[in-house]
Amino acid sequence: MIYDERIKNLNHKKINNGDYVLYWMQASQRSEYNHALEYSIEYSNKLKLPLIVLFIIMEDFPKANFRHFRFMLEGIEDVMNQLKSRKIKMVIRKGEALPIVNELSKNASILITDFGYLKHEIIMKSNIAQQLNCSMLSVESNVIIPVEVTSNKEEYGAYTIRPKINKIIDKYLIELNSRLVMQSSIDYPIKSEDISDLNSFIDSLKIDKSINESIYKGGSVEAEKYLKDFIENKAQYYSELKNHPGMNYSSNLSPYLHFGQISPLYIALKIIKSDIKSKKDFLEELITRRELAINYIYYNKNYDSDIEKILPSWAYDSLISHQNDLKDYLYSLEELENAKTHDEFWNKAQKEMVITGKMHGYMRMYWGKKIIEWSLTINDAFSKALYLNDRYSIDGRDANGYAGIAWCYGKHDRPWKEREIFGKIRYMNDKGLIKKFNMEKYLDLKL
C-alpha cells in the first residue's frame, strides 16, 4: 500500500497518450523498498505501457566531487543490474536536468520522480514540472513518515517531534512489496550512457577530482552487508558502545541512506523484527533524529547560509554576546583542513573524515564544537564546518549534516550553564573525552 500522502502532484497537467511511463530516479537510488519505483510500476501496469527509469548525472550538482560521484555511480551499477532482472530499462544520461527530462518526457504519458529535501532539489524539480507538457508527480520514499504529515512546521527539538511521530508511526511501518512488472522495457530503443567501465566513465566527467575516493564502496549490495553485520555483530551493544570513538559499533549506514541506496523503512522493519536489545536507541536515531533533521531543512531554508535565522534566540544571542571573548587559538580553514591544530583528538577526527570519508559520530560533535572555539566569529566557524563536512564526508550535503552542525550551535538543544566563548550552548572538551573513553585507542586507529 502506497499512501496518497506520499504523493505530490507537481504541475497538475494531464496524463498524455505516450509510449512509456517515465520514472526519474534521483533521491531514492535503489530498486527495493522504493515507493516511487513501485508506484511507477503500478502506473505502467495500469496504462499497459513499459516503464523507463531515467538517471541523470549532473556534473554541476552543488558541492559534489569525485568521492561522491564514485560512491553514487557504484550504487547506480547495482540499481541497473537489479532493474534489469525485473525487466526494467534504466537510461543514464549526463548533463543538465531540464533538457534531458524535457526530451524524454515528450514520449511519456506521465513523469514520476522521487523526493529529496535539499532546497536546490526541490526548486529544480518544481521549475522543471512547470515547463513540461505532461503530468509530473513526486513520491516520498526516503522517510518513514512523509515530512508534511509528521508536522506542518519547523519543530523545536526531538522532544516536540517525538510524540508526533509516535502517534502515527505504526501506520507507516508497513512492508513494501515489489510489484510484478507486466511489460518488459529492456529492449526499448533509447540512448543511454555506458557506465560498464566505471573508471573511464568517471574519468570523462567534468567534476572536482582533487579528492580521492572514500573507503566505502557504494551501492545497495554493500548497504545490505553493513546492515547484516550491524544486526548480527554490533546492534546488541549499540547503546553502550556506539559513542566510543575507538570502537566501531554504529551501523555506518549514513552514506547509503544519504544516496537513497537503502530505505530507512526497510532498515527500521529489519531492526524491529530482530531480537536485539538496543532497538529503541537505534530507532531513536534512525527515525526521530533523522526525521527531525529532515523537518528542519524542509521548513528552514537557511540551513546552509544564515546562522541567525536557524538558531533559537537564546543560543544566537548568547553566542553573539560572547563572540569577542578572548580565544587561545584561532585556526584558518587551511590549518583545519590539513589537521594542523594543537589538539590531537581533533586532528585525528579531521584526518578520519578526510581519509576514510566518514568521522565517528561522537567525534563529529567534538569536531564541530571546537571549530567554534577556534574561529573569530560564529559565522566564520559555521561556514568552515559546512565546507569541510560537505566536501569530505561521503554522507555530507545531507539534512543530518546540516542539523548536526547547527546542533553544535544550540539548535535542537537546550541552554546550559553560561561560560566563555560558548555562552549558554553546550560545551565539550578533551578532558571529557579522556574521562569517558579510551582515547588512545582512537588515536591508534589505522586510517
Q: Applying CB under 6 A, which residues contact ligand FAD?
A: 242, 250-254, 257-258, 285-286, 289-290, 293, 361, 364-365, 368, 389, 393, 395-396, 398, 400-401, 403-405, 407-408
Q: How far is the CB of 346 from ligand FAD (least distance, A)?
A: 12
Nearer to ligand FAD, 86 or 391 (CB): 391
Lookup: cell for 102: 524535457
Nearer to ligand FAD, 41 or 403 (CB): 403
Nearer to ligand FAD, 89 or 234 (CB): 234
Q: How far is the CB of 147 from ligand FAD (least distance, A)?
A: 14
Q: Is 60 strand, coil or helix?
A: coil
What's the CA gap between 141 and 35, in Å, rounded?
Answer: 5
Nearer to ligand FAD, 50 or 245 (CB): 245
CA distances from residue 29 to 47, 197, 263 in whole angstroms, order as listed: 24, 20, 9
Nearer to ligand FAD, 231 or 365 (CB): 365
CA distances from residue 445 to 320, 356, 439 in whole angstroms, order as listed: 37, 12, 10
Phi then psi for residue 315, to 5 deg, are: -75, -45
Q: How far is the CB of 75 from ligand FAD (least distance, A)?
A: 16
Nearer to ligand FAD, 19 or 285 (CB): 285
Q: How far is the CB of 42 from ligand FAD (least distance, A)?
A: 28
Q: How far is the CB of 331 from ligand FAD (least distance, A)?
A: 16
Q: Where are the beta strands (DSSP E) in 101-181?
A: 108-114, 135-139
Burial class (CB in 10 A: 0-12, 13-18, 19+), 292: buried
- In this structure, are residues 292 and 155 in contact, taking their beta carbons and an 8 Å threshold? yes
- In sequence order, which ranges of 18-118 are alpha helices (DSSP H)? 35-47, 66-85, 97-105
Nearer to ligand FAD, 248 or 324 (CB): 248
Q: How far is the CB of 322 from ligand FAD (least distance, A)?
A: 20
Q: How far is the CB of 212 from ligand FAD (least distance, A)?
A: 18
User: Angle CA(146)–CA(152)–CA(154) in degrees, nearest 5?
Assistant: 100
- In sequence order, which ranges of 212-253 are alpha helices (DSSP H)? 220-229, 238-241
What's the CA gap between 324 and 344, in Å, rounded?
Answer: 26
Phi then psi for residue 136, to 5 deg, are: -130, 125
Q: How far is the CB of 276 from ligand FAD (least distance, A)?
A: 12
Nearer to ligand FAD, 82 or 239 (CB): 239
CA distances from residue 141 to 111, 225, 386 in whole angstroms, order as listed: 16, 21, 26
Nearer to ligand FAD, 105 or 389 (CB): 389
Nearer to ligand FAD, 84 or 414 (CB): 414
What's the CA gap between 291 and 288, in Å, rounded?
Answer: 5
Nearer to ligand FAD, 219 or 396 (CB): 396
Q: How far is the CB of 396 from ligand FAD (least distance, A)?
A: 4
Q: 3-state DSSP helix/strand/coil percent for the chain, to nearest 5?
A: 50, 10, 40
- In this structure, are residues 294 and 143 in contact, taking their beta carbons and an 8 Å threshold? yes
Phi then psi for residue 95, to 5 deg, are: 140, -160
What's the CA gap between 311 and 302, in Å, rounded?
Answer: 10
Residue identified by cell 515528450 is 106
Single out the residue of 110, 73, 106, 68 nearest to residue 90, CA to CA.
73
Lookup: cell for 429: 572538551
Q: How far is the CB of 286 from ligand FAD (least distance, A)?
A: 4
* Residue sitting closest to ligand FAD (CB): 404
Q: How far is the CB of 329 from ligand FAD (least distance, A)?
A: 19
How far is residue 388 CA from its own chain's centroid? 16
- Per-residue HEC secondary structure of 411-439 comes to CCCCCCCCECCCECCCCCCHHHHHHHCCH
Q: How far is the CB of 285 from ligand FAD (least distance, A)?
A: 4
Nearer to ligand FAD, 84 or 441 (CB): 441
